[in-house]
């Protein structure tokens, strides 16, 4: 029984090679699929990622169901990811090619429909993401970005209605304070 649990069914170099090939295949495939897949904007995106992980599992471990075989595959994934991330960190130009760049979906409060189409994001999906981040509607959004990791980030229009009211109230209070000071000065001068 211990033999079946600990001794891998294939050689360690073969298992490492399989893991490396699958890792780089997925990096390229997910990059070509776009940032939307990484952001899991809807149930379809989540299903694709879940099925993808299950599909490539056998490519990594083959017929090997041993504990050691699984640990070798997992260790290889962790190490290669550590190496790739550090390599790309020290080579920002290459990182930009591999990761891509953020896409602007809303600029100056206006939706950029061609970028939505490029990333296959619908306006209702964008509105839902904005509501999840506390915006009542896209009318409150000055800028929206689809980041390289698939996250959607939003920047509010400035000033918001609340901020404009607040500034107006402060301005009125300053005017009242100045008038009150002037009144006190005149009263003091009369005495």
Looking at the structure, tell me whether residues 22 and 47 fall in a common domain.
yes
Domain boundary residue among 74, 99, 124? 99
How many Å apart are CA 179 and CA 112, to the nearest integer? 48
Q: Which of 99, 128, 143 is where one domain is finished?
A: 99
Q: Which domain covers residue 73, as residue numbers?
A: 2-99
DSSP 3-state assignment of 57? helix
14 and 84: one domain?
yes
Residues 57, 124, single domain; the answer is no
Number of domains in the chain: 2
Q: 58 and 17 in one domain?
A: yes
pLDDT in tens, 9-26: 778 888 889 889 999 988
Flag whether pLDDT at 75 surpasses 70: yes
Least confident window among 101-105, 150-154, 177-181, 187-191: 187-191
Where do runs of H (alpha helix) occur along 62-118? 67-89, 92-99, 113-118
| Predicted confidence band of residue 3 (pLDDT cuts 50, 70, 90) | low
Q: Is the dihedral of CA 43, 115, 32, 80 positive or negative?
A: negative
Q: What is the pTM of this model?
A: 0.60
Which pLDDT tens digit goes with each residue over 86-136? 998 899 888 888 778 889 999 999 999 999 998 888 999 999 999 999 999
CA 31/CA 55 separation, integer angstroms: 18
Three-state secondary-structure class, residue 62: coil
The answer to whether residue 152 sits within a structural domain is: yes
User: What is the rounded CA–CA span in Å between residue 141 and residue 132?
Assistant: 13
Residue 165 falls inside a structural domain:
no
């Amino acid at each position: 029984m211990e033999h079946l649990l600990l001794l891998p069914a294939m050689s360690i170099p073969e298992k490492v090679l399989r893991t490396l090939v699958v890792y780089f295949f997925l990096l390229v495939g997910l990059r070509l699929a776009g940032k939307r897949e990484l952001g899991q904007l809807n149930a379809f995106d989540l299903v694709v990622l879940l099925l993808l992980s299950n599909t490539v599992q056998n490519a990594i471990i083959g017929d090997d169901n041993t504990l050691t075989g699984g640990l070798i595959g997992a260790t290889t994934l962790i190490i290669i990811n550590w190496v790739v991330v550090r390599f790309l960190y020290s080579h920002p130009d290459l990182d930009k090619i591999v990761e891509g760049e953020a896409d602007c979906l809303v600029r100056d409060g206006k939706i950029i429909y061609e970028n939505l189409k490029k990333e296959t994001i619908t306006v209702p999906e964008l509105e839902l993401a904005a509501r999840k981040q506390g915006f009542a509607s896209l009318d409150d959004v000055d800028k929206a970005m689809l980041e390289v990791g698939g996250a959607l980030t939003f920047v509010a229009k400035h000033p918001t209605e609340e901020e404009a009211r607040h500034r107006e109230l402060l301005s009125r209070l300053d005017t009242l304070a100045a008038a009150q000071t002037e009144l006190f000065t005149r009263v003091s001068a009369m005495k």
